[in-house]
Structure 1
């Protein structure tokens, strides 16, 4: 993950910086104890001890948050949360009600560092401890209402964020597993197809070669007929292999839509894609040409456009040339460097021309737009979306 990883260890400097910034939002609550140290009228000795206690609390808080996900047991994390709670209690009882705000950080760290099965108990426990200490500290009752709700809400919000990110990670891992299984299945399919195609042909070629070899000295005319049969079988086997490999490599529009979603999301581009279309009746050449067009367009968006948003539409149009399947890819980027069409767009134009379609691509008012059209065959409804 490249974003904030609540409940997981940051993997690089960027993740650490983003996580630090995100967690830093909560430090607005530290204004109360800082103000108390600066203007609370404490003696110099108490003030020094207060600063030491505050720094120790913040350091322990960061150590707990940033080390989460390194394999520590729940017992160690619970012990760290207990240390934070003990620090909050000591500082609140000795320095006054302004320090009750530290319990908010204890609740938040519980939600961020502990699984929900533990956090659902520790967050209410911290809230109960906050209530008890607030009733003991002079004037603490007036602060209770303003702190109890943030402690509960912040703590359980962290549990929700943690569970959401955990689920997202599991879904990504599952999607990668499914993709790997699909690739393995496709390789097995190709192996089966090649075996079925070549097994019989090669066996026949071997048999006829042996016959031709035995016939050649005494019956050259019969041997020539066997060689002619070998040539015919070999040519047919070559055609079968080419068709099998072509079908194996032919891109599918539904697969390219799914791949576009993954590529755009990984590049930080907001993707607006159609649902999986029903391509019943659409010629294979049309689907293949549009699949290549989508792949090339998304590649250009990811590599060159600098776009923040990309919209893909798949629609059926009735034209003078008959029903056409129209693929539109629009982004809000700069369109990339260069003033003319690149090799990719030229190749797409050739593919679409062979399929009986057309290609339009160019800058628009807010970005770049590519429109590819191919014959849709018989009139059938397909899925489209924005």
Structure 2
């Protein structure tokens, strides 16, 4: 089963993309809310300004300095989630943030010592890893000196500053890894598509190259024989017809092979389709297809495709479970595909064309199809024989 599942009420457009800029205002708000809990350390400075311990001029300057500090911090951390500033800009902004923390703490008192927490977090989130490794302890040392000058001896806060800074470097590396994995996945998909195109081109060349060359040669030969030897030219034309018919048979066979539905491919496609529709999916990753004839596998693959299509389009389900099991029945071993969801299952008045076609397709392989409502949704069960292909008799 896959571990990559979503909450029942989640939708892909509602998920915040890690390491990428926000696409909508709501996504920008969700990313901003991730930053908001860190503002808890501003409680002491705000309380200090609100208590009226300072002169009016100092209070105004304190509010202005605090606003500038918070604005710089939020800009750096929020922008770093998607479109980070260039290196020199980040260095200047982090330096300005540290300078504001020192000035505000020295001029307004020890209640402002918590600002160094934000400086440390910004160092870990915005600076390059190698720079952050020495910038974080340097910020901690500055906090220690300023604290001693202001009469603050909070060693636990010093530990928080160091740990949070290095924790943010880990978060930054995790985000970077996620972005690189996303790019690598896209590259692998592109390479696989290119490889498939090359394989198709190679197979068509091998399949048709000889036949078309032979047709061209015999056509030229028939053209030269036609005036003087019409009987021999007719023989060449007959050979051309035979070669072309055989080439057509080969092409049809090759196309049928390309078009043959494979169960592993459909399972992967079902996982993607269900996740894209916001349906929590439980899908087996590696099916056991030993002793399963190709036509039986293809029939199960078509059944899975039809079932997933119904779940995505008509059911309104939020959860879908796909199971693939081997069972022993009175008629022999069978491979059973079960697709169950918690949706409405459509109108349910009569079987649609899709289910009718699936029943006919499965009967040709000696299999069966069952579909109907269950207590909490809709369930489709398709079975095909395993091992030697069963003779389609009374059950078909």
Partner of 2:91: 78
In structure 1, distance between residues paired with 2:70 and 2:122: 11
Secondary structure of the 2:22 match is coil
3-state SS of the aligned residue for 1:177? helix
Equivalent-residue separation in structure 2 for 1:342 and 1:89 (angstroms) = 73
C-alpha spacing 1:194/1:359, structure 2 compared with 1 (3 Å):
same
Residue 257 (structure 1) aligns with: 267
Structure-2-length-normalised TM-score: 0.82
Within 1, Cα distance between the matches of 2:308 and 2:165?
A: 40
Q: Given the alignment, which residue of 57, 62, 80 partners 1:50?
A: 62
- The counterpart of 2:43, out of the listed 12, 26, 31, is 31
Distance 1:312 1:158, change over 3 A: farther
State the distance in 2 between where 1:165 and 1:293 align.
Answer: 39
**Aligned partners of 2:18 and 2:178 also within 8 Å:** no
Q: Give me the whole-angstrom Cα distance separating, in 2, the residues matched to 1:114 and 1:299.
A: 47
For 1:231, the equivalent position in structure 2 comes to: 241
The count of residues paired between Structure 1 and Structure 2 equals 375
Q: Distance in 1 between matches of 2:309 and 2:128?
A: 39
> How is 1:210-221 mapped onto 2 (pairs within 5 angstroms)?
210-213=220-223
Equivalents in 1 of 2:175, 2:137: separation in Å?
23
Deviation at 1:77, TM superposition (A): 1.4
- Post-superposition Cα deviations, 1:151-210, rounded to whole Å, max 9, x if no partner, equal 233323322222222212211221221121111111111112211221222233333444
Per mean C-alpha deviation after superposition, the further-off stretch among 340-349 and 20-29 is 340-349
How far 1:58 moved relative to its partner? 0.9
Task: Kindly state the Cα deviation for residue 87 of structure 1 after the two structures are TM-superposed.
Answer: 0.9
Q: 1:168 to 1:209 in 2, by over 3 A?
A: same
Within 2, Cα distance between the matches of 1:99 and 1:343? 72
How is 1:1-386 mapped onto 2 (pairs within 5 angstroms)?
Answer: 3-4=15-16, 8-39=20-51, 41-68=53-80, 69-70=82-83, 72-138=85-151, 140-141=152-153, 143-145=154-156, 147-213=157-223, 222-302=232-312, 307-332=317-342, 334-335=343-344, 338-339=347-348, 344-377=354-387
When residues 274 and 20 of structure 1 are mapped into structure 2, their CA distance, relative to the original with a 3 A threshold, is same
Indicate the larger mover: 208-217 or 246-255: 208-217
Instruction: Give the 3 Å change call, closer, same or farther, for CA 123–344 of structure 1 in structure 2.
Output: farther
TM-score by length of 1: 0.83
SS of the residue aligned with 1:67? helix
User: SS in structure 2 opposite 1:70?
Assistant: coil
Instruction: Indicate the SS of the match to 2:322.
Output: strand
Compared CA separation, residues 336 and 170, structure 1 to 2 (3 A) = farther
Q: After TM superposition, give the deviation of residue 119 of structure 1 in Å.
A: 2.1
Shift of residue 76, structure 1, vs aligned partner: 2.5
Is this contact kept in 2: 1:6–1:112, CA < 8 A? no
Cα distance change of structure 1 residues 6 and 32 upon mapping to structure 2, 3 Å threshold: farther
SS state of the match for residue 314, structure 1? strand
**Does 1 or 2 have the higher relative contact order (CA < 8 Å, sep 6+)?**
2
Quickly say closer, same or farther: Cα 1:306–1:233, change in 2 above 3 A.
Answer: same
Write the deviation string for residues 111-139 of structure 1: whole angstroms up to 9, x where unpaired: 2222322222222222222222222213x
Q: CA RMSD in A?
A: 3.1
Residues 13 and 197 of structure 1: CA distance in aligned 2, closer, same or farther (over 3 Å): same
8 A Cα contact 1:313 1:328, kept in partner? yes
SS of alignment partner, residue 274 of structure 1: coil
Decide which moves more: 86-95 or 155-164.
155-164
Matched with 1:383 is none
- When residues 7 and 306 of structure 1 are mapped into structure 2, their CA distance, relative to the original with a 3 A threshold, is same
Out of 186-195 and 258-267, give the one that drifted further: 258-267
Q: 1:70-113, CA deviations, whole angstroms, 9 ceiling, x for partnerless residues?
A: 36333331221121111111111222222111111111122222
